[in-house]
Chains A and B, each alone.
Chain A
Amino acid sequence: MSDIINLTLSALIDKIKKKELSSQEITNAYIARAEKSKDLNTYITTDFENAIEKAKKFDEKGNFDCKLPGVPLAVKDLFCTNNLKTTAGSKILSNFIPSYESTVTQYLWDEGAILLGKLNCDEFAMGSSNETSFFGNVESPVGKKVVPGGSSGGSASALAAKLTPATIGTDTGGSIRQPASFTGTVGLKPTYGSCSRYGIVAFASSLDQAGPMTQDVSDAALMLDVISKYDTKDSTSVNFKRGDYFKSLSSNIKGKKIGIPKEYRVDGMPKEIESLWQDGITLLKKLGAKIIDISLPHTKYALPAYYIVAPAEASSNLARYDGVKYGYRSEGENLISMYENTRSEGFGDEVKRRIMIGTYVLSSGYYDAYYLKAQKIRRLIKNDFDEVYKSVDAILTPSTPSSAFKIGDKTDDPVSMYLNDIFTVPVNLSGLPAISIPAGKDKNNYPLGLQIIGKAFEEQNLLDISYSMEKELNFKNNLQDWWIK
């Protein structure tokens, strides 16, 4: 059994196709491990009985030509799953059972995957440590009382702890890449418009994007093949020619031009991250890439602009939670007090903060000073990238300005928590694809990630660069299974 959980997604698929392993054996192995790993608090909802039933059916008469034949997967609890509770980590959706399926999860099941359950996340994906979830903190398998990052913290923790062979998360300001970096896993945020947003609980619609979180780069390519498709149900879905990412993976990056942005060398960045970045540069040179110093002058304005744009969109998106059609309701003397009590009791502190910020920046008299200003800054940030992409193919940066921290360390100061996303946010504002790959460890043995940012719709290039680096980096988490009961 321990052999099963140590296999990558692509290795598992290979064994299923060769009939060396059955879907039932694999599903049972992951369920057994999840039962012993409850202390990590990765799952909000499990669907194990149905998973076993589906695995049995797959073994009897499944289609082995699928891309994910009989593979059990757990997903972030932000994706609506038909007939299975979907909470977005919030009390206000704690009893919500969707009657439809998100497009990207449907693609997984269409390719033969089997749902194990729904993974913990920050409430409405608002957070960088998975500490805002109504369903409690998630612990990272990399260390006791260490945060897995967020908002896809449950996904990152479950993946690193080998409770699912791969998973999908969502990334609005770094919510796939930052937790991947914190847990020594691979996290890919595709170009805005690649993966359908239909059926994903909305946070900030102009920034939200679903993407794979996997053990290695090949698995990320494989998952991207499944979930990146044009979908008419999402009006911002883009109909571009997608690659055959997994099959086309190449580790030859000779002559590729990689930009190193000086603005990412921020004050107070730990030495070990600085040297991780330097080692990454050296490695790329060794692989035959050409390193070019670049400037993205508006980088420092990305985070403040994000904290206007994202809350503004969130305040509008979350207006729907009013206790009328679905979700939690608190009674009131009249309609207005019912709304106010429902939202006051149903939302947690961070979500309330962001709704308030968003409402303020959109309110009469402040719209031009804040919201319009932030949209103009957003243009300048995107222009910076457009300009450098005339001379480089991709950009290398650290994924985060620090490694994982302890639970409770940053909850008192919202701004210090927001600073976690300083290297990831510019990518969302510009709609670009980016990947975080594990590249080293800090003095506590916590993983550190490098981020590669690509050109819009050129995921193959991004995957090839990270694939070639991964081979040389040869990163191993070497977790001690301390949480197993």
Chain B
Amino acid sequence: MSIDLKTIKHIAKLSRISIDDKKAKELEKDLNSIFEFIEALNKVDTKKVDPLTSIAETSLKLRGDEVKTKNIREQILKNSPDENKDFFVVPKVVE
């Protein structure tokens, strides 16, 4: 199976990464060689095998729903790429 240029562009869109045609062609080559290597897995019969989702196969522990840190608005906003120090700001999304 090979991944074509159209699929590469579709994956880039799903990944929210803009790529030009040159980059798309490079990725087509790289991803195909990586998937060729991955295809080896098809040789293994896994019909009767349960997937291993996590090494620690225990259910997550519950904890009380308590506030442990408060009044950290300034700390949270301090790394915001936008100058505004009251909110996170993004380009306008509604007309």
Write the residues of chain A forming the contact surface with B, with a CB cutoff of 8 angstroms.
95-97, 99, 192-193, 206, 232, 235-236, 238, 298, 300-301, 303-305, 307-308, 315, 319, 322-329, 331-341, 343-344, 347, 352-353, 355-357, 359-360, 363, 370, 372-380, 382, 413-415, 418, 430-431
User: Contact: A353 with B88, CB < 8 Å?
Assistant: no
Contact A344 B17 (CB under 8 A): yes
Q: Give Cα distance in the complex from A363 to B91, angstroms.
A: 28
**Is the beta-carbon distance between A430 and B55 smaller than 8 angstroms?**
yes
A322's partner among B16, B39, B61 (CB-CB below 8 A) is B16
Q: B37 contacts A415, CB within 8 Å?
A: yes
Are the C-beta atoms of A193 and B56 separated by less than 8 Å? yes
Q: Give the 6 A-B CB pairs with smallest separation, nearest first.
A: A431-B55, A375-B51, A326-B79, A329-B81, A340-B18, A376-B46
* A431-B55 Cα distance, complex, nearest whole Å: 6
> Can you offer 21 A-B residue contacts whose CB atoms are under 8 A?
A96-B79, A192-B55, A192-B56, A232-B61, A324-B90, A329-B81, A333-B91, A335-B90, A340-B17, A343-B17, A344-B17, A344-B18, A347-B17, A352-B15, A357-B31, A359-B14, A370-B38, A373-B42, A376-B50, A377-B46, A414-B33
Partner of A431, one of B56, B88, B90: B56
Alpha-carbon distance between A303 and B35 when the two chains are bound, in angstroms: 12
Is B53 located at the chain interface by the 8 A CB criterion? Answer: yes
Residues A97 and B49 in contact, CB atoms below 8 Å apart: no
Interface residues of B in 18-41 (CB under 8 A from A): 18-19, 27, 30-31, 33-35, 37-41
CB distance from B45 to the nearest CB of A (A): 10
Report the bound CA distance from A222 to B77 in whole Å.
38
A295 to chain B, nearest CB (A): 16
Query: What total of A-B pairs shows CB separation below 8 Å?
Result: 154
B2-19 to A contact mask, C-beta < 8 Å, 1/0 = 010001100110111111
**Which residues on B sit within 8 Å (CB–CB) of A337?**
18
Closest to B16 in A: A339
Q: Is the CB of B52 within 8 A of A335?
A: no
The chain B residue with its CB closest to the CB of A95 is B79
List, in ascending order, chain A residues with CB within 8 A of B81's CB.
323-324, 326-329
Helix, strand, loop or mixed for chain B's interface?
A: loop
Question: Cβ of B34: which chain A residues have Cβ within 8 Å of it?
Answer: 307, 353, 357, 414-415, 418
Bound-complex Cα distance A431 to B54 (A): 9
| A301 and B79 contact, Cβ closer than 8 Å, known pairs A232-B63, A357-B31 | no
Task: State how many angstroms separate the Cβ of B78 from the closest Cβ of chain A.
Answer: 7
Quick one: which of A235, A307, A363, A376 contacts B49, CB cutoff 8 A? A376
* Chain B positions within 8 Å of A355 at CB level: 15, 17
In the bound complex, CA of A238 to CA of B58 (Å): 10
With contacts A193-B56, A323-B81, A325-B79 taken as known, whether A352 is within 8 angstroms of B44 at the C-beta atoms is no
- Which of A236, A329, A336, A378 is within 8 Å of B52, CB to CB? A378
CA distance A373 to B43 in the complex (A): 11
A415 with B91: CB separation less than 8 A: no
Assess the B46–A380 pair: CB atoms within 8 A.
yes
Alpha-carbon distance between A304 and B36 when the two chains are bound, in angstroms: 10
Chain A residues whose C-beta falls within 8 Å of the C-beta of B76 in the assembled complex? 99, 325
CB of B67 within 8 Å of the partner chain:
no
Contact indicator B51/A327 (Cβ below 8 Å): no
Contact of B51 among A341, A347, A357, A372 (CB under 8 A): A372
- Which B residues are CB-close (under 8 A) to A372? 51
Supplied contacts A336-B16, A356-B8, A376-B46, 7 more A-B pairs, CB within 8 Å: A308-B41, A323-B81, A324-B88, A325-B80, A327-B81, A329-B82, A414-B33
Q: Does B90 lie within 8 Å of A379, measured CB to CB?
A: no
